[in-house]
């Protein structure tokens, strides 16, 4: 296995043992969040300054484990306290919405008023968010999709996670957008002359075009994960 992948696995394991988020790990290593995410995803090998900062931390991480994979993860004088920090369960309470069809069999939507004032939250385990979804931010929200506009990719009953920091339509994708006073789920595709095509996977709904600079249009965030019961 390449060294960058080995360090990636160790950093994820260390997060769980210490109960830290990627942001907190970046702070300990004294590097930017984007740099830490490159290490965490196995895109590059951590530099010596980062590794040294990790080893100097008060958690007393075992250098033999970090560099060679030789357990234990923590130095012996901290093992007696390790049970208190091993695999702690932490949760992110995300704003939670329900997107219902406008009418039976219709496209899903929410009102802007509902969107600005979520009445509920839903807890997601930090470990799941950081190891499965792997966003570069905690600026997330969750939506229970009750419509079939994105079937079969996003089926009715699915829960989606939306990254509110990803609003650039470059590369296309499925986004939550605001059209006039409605919040909708759309495939966004760039067109010439600063225009976008908004469509659905279910082709019973007609696509529309909007301008990037139109006052009645805004991209709220990209859908980065979806889950549903089997």
The per-residue pLDDT for range 105-115, each reduced to its tens digit, is 778 899 998 89
Measured in residues, the chain has a length of 230
Q: Is the peptide bond before 40 cis (omega within 30 degrees of 0)?
A: no
* Cα distance between residue 222 and residue 133, in whole Å: 13
What is the Cα–Cα distance from 44 to 227, expressed in whole angstroms? Answer: 30
- Looking at the whole model, is its pTM more than 0.85? no
DSSP assignment of 161-212 equals EEETT----TT-EEEEEEETTEEEEEEEEEETTTEEEEE-SSTTS--EEEET
Q: Give exposure, 170-190, as e/b (b: 16+ Cβ within 10 Å).
A: eeebbbbbbbeebbbbbbbbe
Which of 3.40.50.150, 1.10.260.40, 3.50.50.60, 3.30.420.40 would CATH assign to domain 3-85?
A: 1.10.260.40
Q: Where do the domains of the chain lie?
A: 3-85, 91-227
pLDDT in tens, 18-42: 888 888 899 999 999 999 999 999 9
3-85 with 91-227: one CATH topology?
no
Which H helix or E strand runs over 221?
strand 217-227
pLDDT, tens digit, for every residue of 68-80? 888 888 886 554 5
CATH fold group of domain 91-227: Umud Fragment, subunit A (2.10.109)
């Amino acid at each position: 296995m390449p060294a960058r992948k080995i360090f990636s696995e160790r950093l994820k394991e260390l997060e769980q043992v210490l109960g830290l988020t990627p942001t907190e790990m970046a702070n300990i290593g004294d590097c930017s969040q984007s740099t830490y995410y490159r290490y965490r995803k196995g895109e590059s090998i951590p530099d010596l300054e980062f590794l040294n900062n990790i080893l100097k931390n008060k958690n007393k991480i075992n250098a033999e484990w970090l560099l060679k994979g030789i357990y234990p993860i923590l130095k012996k004088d901290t093992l007696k306290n390790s049970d208190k920090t091993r695999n702690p369960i932490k949760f992110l309470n995300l704003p939670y919405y329900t997107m219902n069809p406008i009418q039976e069999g219709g496209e899903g939507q929410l009102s802007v008023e509902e969107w600005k004032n979520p009445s509920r939250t839903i807890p997601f385990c930090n470990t799941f968010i950081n190891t499965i979804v792997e966003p570069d931010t905690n600026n997330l929200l969750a939506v229970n999709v009750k419509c079939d506009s994105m079937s079969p990719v996003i089926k009715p009953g699915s829960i989606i996670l939306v990254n509110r920091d990803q609003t650039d339509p470059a590369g296309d994708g499925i986004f939550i957008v605001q059209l006039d006073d409605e919040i909708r789920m759309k495939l966004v595709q760039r067109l010439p002359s600063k225009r976008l095509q908004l469509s659905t996977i279910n082709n019973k709904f007609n696509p529309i075009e909007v301008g990037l600079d139109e006052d009645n249009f805004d991209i709220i965030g990209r859908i980065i994960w979806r889950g549903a019961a089997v």
